């Protein structure tokens, strides 16, 4: 959930204390608050190095010892997974610092917009179904972005990590340095929204796994999320899977498993 400026939470005292070690740090600005924690934008060590401070406040409804244990375990797990991906060259935010007792982690700020925003900007006011089947718009920049998404998920799975909450909001499009644009004047500035490297974020539910089933469920979650968030581009999801196959040697058995997972999903929805 994005936070408006009027709903700013003062950063918890523990964070203000931590941030005093860097007097040049930007005042933490609340950017999002979910069920598990709050995200602030601030800087790390250098004033020109923006970062995200992910804070998991104590849960008053939990026993304090259990709560502290859970917070510690979740931050450790998220940081480990991010480290593993980062070291393997998967595009994820770098981990800068963490404090398991106070419940926070500082990670790299990823420039750009979410994939969700980029796709929505590209689709604009387009109707859900084209006036005629021959009237399909030229979606080359979107197809290209879908391929980058599939390759990013393939890279992730190759590393032995499943994300657990793949949606187009949990992916960013980071502009490449010295990006020159699409070079196609006819697609114009709209295509710019879809340029850049796909960087996966929000690893709060990620786990280390090499199981076909877990990987297939990861893809299924993305497929369902994509269909409900971008119904006008649903037909292009096939390009995500195609690029996944190209990026990940063991994709075939995962994609076979995906058929089973879809079938189970359909049965479940038939039974209500
Ligand atoms: N490392 C990052 N760099 C830049 N922006 C980020 C980063 N991490 C998160 N964001 C921004 O904050 C938003 C929320 O992030 P995230 O999904 O991690 O938080 P959340 O509270 O778990 O949200 P949700 O409840 O939707 O899962 C993202 O959609 C993105 O716009």
Is residue 64 domain-shared with residue 170, that is, in the same domain? Answer: no
Is residue 28 domain-shared with residue 90, that is, in the same domain? Answer: yes
- Residues with a known catalytic role: 165
> Three-state secondary structure along 220-244?
HHHHHHHHHHCHHHHHHHHHHHHHH
Per-residue b or e along 137-162, where b marks 16 or more CB atoms closer than 10 Å to that residue's CB: eebebbbebbbbbbbbbbbbbbbebb
34 pocket-lining for ligand 1 (C-beta < 6 Å): yes
Domain boundary, last residue among 69, 88, 108:
108
Domain that holds residue 238: 113-270
Residue 185's pLDDT is: 47
52 pocket-lining for ligand 1 (C-beta < 6 Å): yes
SS3 of residue 129 by DSSP: coil
Residue ranges, the chain, pLDDT below 50: 4-6, 185
Mutate to test the pocket of ligand 1, among 202, 222, 229 (most ligand atoms within 8 A of CB): 202
State both tokens at 16.
């203000």
Please identify, by atom number, the ligand 1 atom nearest to the C-alpha of residue 109. Answer: 3
Domain boundary, last residue among 73, 90, 108:
108
Residue 6's pLDDT is: 42
Is residue 191 domain-shared with residue 254, that is, in the same domain? Answer: yes
Which CATH number characterizes residue 58's domain? 3.30.200.20
49, exposed or middle or buried, with CB in 10 Å at 0-12, 13-18, 19+? middle
Residue 187's pLDDT is: 54
Domain total in the chain: 2
Residue 250's pLDDT is: 97
109 pocket-lining for ligand 1 (C-beta < 6 Å): yes
């Amino acid at each position: 959930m994005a936070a408006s400026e009027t709903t700013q939470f003062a950063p918890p005292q523990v964070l203000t204390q931590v941030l005093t070690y860097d007097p040049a740090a930007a005042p933490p600005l609340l950017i999002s608050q979910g069920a598990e924690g709050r995200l602030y934008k601030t800087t790390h060590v250098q004033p020109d190095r923006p970062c995200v401070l992910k804070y998991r406040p104590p849960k008053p409804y939990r026993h304090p010892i259990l709560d502290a244990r859970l917070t510690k375990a979740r931050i450790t797990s998220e940081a480990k997974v991010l480290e593993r991906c980062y070291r393997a060259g998967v595009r994820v935010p770098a981990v800068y610092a963490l404090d398991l007792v106070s419940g926070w982690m500082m990670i790299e700020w990823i420039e750009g917009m979410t994939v969700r925003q980029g796709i929505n900007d590209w689709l604009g006011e387009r109707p859900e179904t084209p006036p005629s089947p021959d009237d399909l718009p030229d979606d080359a920049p979107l197809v290209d972005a879908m391929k980058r998404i599939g390759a990013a998920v393939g890279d992730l799975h190759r590393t032995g990590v499943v994300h657990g909450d793949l949606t187009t909001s949990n992916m960013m499009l980071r502009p490449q340095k010295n990006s020159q644009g699409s070079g196609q004047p006819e697609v114009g500035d709209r295509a710019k929204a879809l340029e850049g490297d796909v960087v996966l974020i929000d690893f709060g539910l990620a786990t280390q796994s090499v199981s076909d089933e877990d990987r297939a469920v990861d893809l299924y979650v993305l497929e369902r999320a994509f269909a409900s968030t971008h119904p006008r581009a649903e037909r292009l999801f096939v390009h995500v899977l195609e690029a996944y196959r190209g990026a990940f040697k063991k994709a075939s058995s995962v994609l076979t498993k995906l058929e089973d997972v879809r079938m189970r999903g359909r049965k479940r929805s038939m039974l209500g």
